[in-house]
Amino acid sequence: MNGSIQPQRMTPSEALVETMAANGVTEVFGIVGSAYMDALDIFPAAGIRFIPVAHEQGAAHMADGYARASGRHGVCIAQNGPGITNFVTAIAAAYWAHSPVVFITPETGSMSVGLGGFQETDQLPIFSKITKFQGHVNNPKRMAEIAARCFDRAMLEMGPVQLNIPRDYFYGECHAAIAQPMRIGRGPGDATALDAAAALLAAARFPVILAGGGVIMADGCDAAIRLAELLHAPVANSYLHNDTFPASHPLWCGPLGYQGSKAAMKLIAQADVVLALGTRLGPFGTLPQHGLDYWPSGAKIIQVDADAKVLGLVKPISVGIHGDARAAAVALAARLEGRELACIANKAERSQRITDEKAAWEKELADWTHERDPFSLEVAKHSRAMHPRQMLRELEKAMPGGAMVSTDIGNICSVSNSYLRFDQPRSMFAAMSFGNCGYAFPVACGAKIAAPHRPAIAYVGDGAWGISLNELLTCAREKIGVTVVVFNNGQWGAEKKNHVDFYSQRFQAVNLDSPSWAKVAQAFGCEGVTVDKLSDVGPALQAAVAAQADGRCTVLEMMVTQELGDPFRRDALSKPVRYLDKYQGYT
Ligand SMILES: Cc1ncc(C[n+]2csc(CCOP(=O)(O)OP(=O)(O)O)c2C)c(N)n1
Ligand SMILES: [Mg+2]
């Protein structure tokens, strides 16, 4: 650790690029710019591929997808000013996805700061709330030191880190040593807390494990499985982390949260002890669903997280463990092994309950071919398009092994949560709690570049597609073989659902008139296929995935009805109240 090579004379550009290479960086996403051209020039010699994108938001999302798929840093860079402000949305998304993204932000030259020259904006405050650390190179001689700190902090704190560099500081010379990456182990947490947690688990009659994203970040799926098997405890995935526990495992019961698994909800509702492993228990992820207010308020909650600040933040807890999810699971298993466990007495009965709840949910899903509210029945009545749920089922059935799926924000993407099951970690990359439309496609591109041999599939609504489709350019130019499934329901459906439920169907700005997305894809130099029959869904997906091997990107445009599943924010909307006369018709 910290085995630096001897200091030697180099330019700051060389110090930056050497630090990237020391951190194993092999790909950087961005749009070319004069601000950092001196460093870019030597990327190839350092073994770094620069991947030019269509929009800097795409670059930062790709860095996020790259980091989430690989567990390594995702890196992006852009021109000072507008190139950097284009990063903002994607960095906020990476922040809530806990992605170790290092985004390099050249800024206006140090001799003209404050003069309003060209492409100047104060680049640190903009990102101050969506970064784990901001390194500012205040002297070019410190480039190697500060760059290394940025890479270390992104891993230490699991989140985006900014490296801000006045553009004139790429030039000159310094006497620098290149630090080797410093990786600090977190360990299992406080021994007393682990003892207390083990005592609660040993006495539990119905323990349930909630496996969060921290399990993946800690490479802890094996440890979670071992602990679950020891307790014979059902395991729920935290919201949008369907890949934290293998879906083929008998103890898996699916995700909590919006459009999640009723089996998981009904089982956790019975828990007397919940082990929340590697999850911040975000407020959106445990909201009532399907009419079930399932969070077991009377249960003892053990929460394990690598970030001490989230322990007990959202839900009251009995025991908080500040530690690595994997190491904590191993330490808990060691404390429980060979010990008398109360829950073993009713193991058979709990086993039966798990099997029954899972079977009931499977049956319900199988029968739930379409939405049944009056609006949905009406719009689907005369449509020849596919029901979204049936289409999602066909995708699920045809999903290739080892697939990575990114999902966007929208009604159909949300419903897909019930139909996405994985046996391997680092497989699901949802837009998480920042919830920005336009997330899924560039994230899938980044994931594909990180894991070229795994199928990469993005689920995107037709509205969100309009935000992100420019990266088809990148796919065609750079031969990035991803598959995009665009759900064409001709509407910003998730928002339309609010008009239906709360605004007496006064539709405004929710209907979408779009060109053929298949033809648009072809015009970009990608493959484009329109699918309007259920029997074509699986074969189309398989053909598109096969084309990935040749670096070909395919857009599968799924023609679906306008029916709409449950809304996102029932919790946050109210029926309209109007006091002024002129608005009386708007209730
Ligand atoms: C960047 C951004 N803009 C707006 C929103 C608000 N929003 C949430 S869902 C949604 C509709 C998504 O429509 P579409 O992508 O067509 O998917 P559908 O709901 O129709 O399945 C919108 C506009 C958002 N989440 N992110
Ligand atoms: Mg739509």
Residue 160 neighbours by CB under 8 Å, 6+ apart: 91, 94, 95, 99, 100, 101, 102, 103, 127, 130, 131, 132, 154
Instruction: State which ligand 1 atom lies nearest to the alpha carbon of 460.
Output: 15
Instruction: State which ligand 1 atom lies nearest to the alpha carbon of 435.
Output: 25
Give me 399's structure tokens: 């999903």
- Whether the CB of 388 sits within 6 Å of ligand 1: no
Atom 4 (ligand 1) nearest CA: 437
- Whether the CB of 561 sits within 6 Å of ligand 1: no
289 touches 260 (CB < 8 A)? yes
- Whether the CB of 461 sits within 6 Å of ligand 1: yes
- Whether the CB of 464 sits within 6 Å of ligand 1: yes
Query: How remote is the CA of residue 560 from the centroid of ligand 2, in Å?
Result: 9
- Whether the CB of 103 sits within 6 Å of ligand 1: no
Ligand 2 (single-atom ion) residues, CB below 5 Å? 461-463, 489, 491, 493
Q: Which ligand is nearest to the CA of 411?
A: 1
DSSP-derived 3-state class of residue 411: helix
- Whether the CB of 462 sits within 6 Å of ligand 1: yes
Give me 295's structure tokens: 């969070």
468 touches 460 (CB < 8 A)? yes
What pLDDT, on a 0 to 100 scale, did the predictor assign at position 3? 47
* Cα 380–Cα 398–Cα 360 angle in degrees, nearest 5: 65
Query: How remote is the CA of residue 437 from the centroid of ligand 1, in Å?
Result: 5
Instruction: State which ligand 1 atom lies nearest to the alpha carbon of 414.
Output: 21
Query: How remote is the CA of residue 465 from the centroid of ligand 2, in Å?
Result: 9
What pLDDT, on a 0 to 100 scale, did the predictor assign at position 172? 97
What pLDDT, on a 0 to 100 scale, did the predictor assign at position 48? 98
Query: How remote is the CA of residue 501 from the centroid of ligand 2, in Å?
Result: 17
- Whether the CB of 463 sits within 6 Å of ligand 1: yes
Residue 568 neighbours by CB under 8 Å, 6+ apart: 258, 411, 414, 494, 497
Pocket test for ligand 1, best of 88, 437, 497, 500 (most atoms within 8 A of CB): 437
What pLDDT, on a 0 to 100 scale, did the predictor assign at position 4? 60
CA dist 573 → 322, 433, 444 (Å): 35, 18, 32
Q: Which ligand is nearest to the CA of 439?
A: 1
CA distance 417 to 538: 18
Residues listed for the chain: 587
Instruction: Specify burial of residue 116 (Cβ count, 10 A radius: 0-12, 13-18, 19+).
Output: exposed
- Whether the CB of 188 sits within 6 Å of ligand 1: no
CA dist 479 → 129, 427, 440, 447, 549 (Å): 35, 21, 18, 14, 10
Query: How remote is the CA of residue 515 from the centroid of ligand 2, in Å?
Result: 13
Query: How remote is the CA of residue 525 from the centroid of ligand 2, in Å?
Result: 24
What pLDDT, on a 0 to 100 scale, did the predictor assign at position 568? 86
Pocket test for ligand 1, best of 284, 391, 409 (most atoms within 8 A of CB): 409
Pocket test for ligand 1, best of 492, 510, 517, 558 (most atoms within 8 A of CB): 492
- Whether the CB of 491 sits within 6 Å of ligand 1: yes
Residue 305's φ and ψ, nearest 5 degrees, are -150, 150
Query: How remote is the CA of residue 115 from the centroid of ligand 1, in Å?
Result: 39
Residue 224 neighbours by CB under 8 Å, 6+ apart: 209, 211, 215, 235, 244, 245, 277, 325, 329
Query: How remote is the CA of residue 56 from the centroid of ligand 2, in Å?
Result: 24
Give me 483's structure tokens: 């598959």
Instruction: State which ligand 1 atom lies nearest to the alpha carbon of 494.
Output: 19
Q: Which ligand is nearest to the CA of 564?
A: 1
Q: Which ligand is nearest to the CA of 489?
A: 2
Query: What tens-digit pLDDT sequence spans the chain (587 residues)?
Result: 444 678 999 999 999 999 999 999 999 999 999 999 999 999 999 999 999 999 999 999 999 999 999 999 999 999 999 999 999 999 999 999 999 999 999 999 999 999 999 999 999 999 999 999 999 999 999 999 999 999 999 999 999 999 999 999 999 999 999 999 999 999 999 999 999 999 999 999 999 999 999 999 999 999 999 999 999 999 999 999 999 999 999 999 999 999 999 999 999 999 999 999 999 999 999 999 999 999 999 999 999 999 999 999 999 999 999 999 999 999 999 999 999 999 999 999 999 999 999 999 999 999 999 999 999 999 999 999 999 999 999 999 999 999 999 999 999 999 999 999 999 999 999 999 999 999 999 999 999 999 999 999 999 999 999 999 999 999 999 999 999 999 999 999 999 999 999 999 999 999 999 999 999 999 999 999 999 999 999 999 999 999 999 999 999 999 999 999 999 888 889 999 999 999 999 99
Query: How remote is the CA of residue 488 from the centroid of ligand 2, in Å?
Result: 6
Atom 13 (ligand 1) nearest CA: 492
Query: How remote is the CA of residue 463 from the centroid of ligand 2, in Å?
Result: 5
0.85 surpassed by pTM:
yes
Atom 3 (ligand 1) nearest CA: 437
Instruction: State which ligand 1 atom lies nearest to the alpha carbon of 388.
Output: 21
The stretches of 287-383 forming alpha helices (DSSP H) are 325-336, 347-367, 374-381
With tokens 């407020």, the residue in question is 283
33 touches 10 (CB < 8 A)? no
Across the chain, mean pLDDT equals 97
Query: How remote is the CA of residue 564 from the centroid of ligand 2, in Å?
Result: 10
CA distance 125 to 130: 10
Instruction: State which ligand 1 atom lies nearest to the alpha carbon of 89.
Output: 1
CA distance 351 to 414: 29
Q: Which ligand is nearest to the CA of 565?
A: 1
- Whether the CB of 494 sits within 6 Å of ligand 1: yes
Residue 168's φ and ψ, nearest 5 degrees, are -75, -10
